[in-house]
Amino acid sequence: MKRTLPLLMLLGLLLGCKDPFSYQPHDPTLPDPPAPPAPLAPENGKHFKYDTPYPRDITLQWTAVSGAEFYQVEVYTDSVLVESNLYVPLIDRVYSTGTTVSFRYHGQFFWRVRADNDRRWNAFTDWSELWNFWLPNPVD
């Protein structure tokens, strides 16, 4: 019995958890959100050219969404959008239409953004289109 109680507690915790990628804690009586923001920079598929060592700061920019209170940004190391491919945890509560991310190594990176105003909309906007860019290997 001593062994099964912790297992049952763990199972209860796992069943009660929600997927953070789909959780939407908003009021369902509010109107639907507007269209998502659109990425602006760096341009999709951009290949940066650097000959200095990392870290490298890259500014991500997007269009404003009317009525947005803040934005959330995700940066991935792969186009498969799973938690294990996140480069940095969710960048939450960006109050402008851009944010700077420090990159410690080279490679291809993928990013997307969405807007929120939980006092006026029943959910986040959809995620923006997924954009990517390349940071070079400084030894190449």
Q: Which residues is 113 bridged to in the sheet?
A: 73
- Strands, sheet with 98-103, edge to edge from the N-terminal-most edge strand: 39-41, 56-62, 98-103
Residue 134: pLDDT above 90? yes
Residue 28: pLDDT above 90? no
- The sign of the torsion formed by the CA atoms of 76, 82, 86, 92 equals positive
Tell me which residue of 36, 105, 110 sits closest to 68, measured CA to CA: 36
Q: What is the pTM of this model?
A: 0.78
Looking at residue 26, its pLDDT comes to: 65
pLDDT band at 31 (very low <50, low <70, confident <90, very high): confident
Say which residue, 111 or 117, is predicted with more confidence: 111
Query: What is the set of domains in the chain, with CATH numbers?
Result: 34-135 (2.60.40.10)
pLDDT band at 58 (very low <50, low <70, confident <90, very high): very high
**Model confidence pLDDT, tens digit, residues 66-96:** 999 999 999 999 999 999 999 998 999 999 9
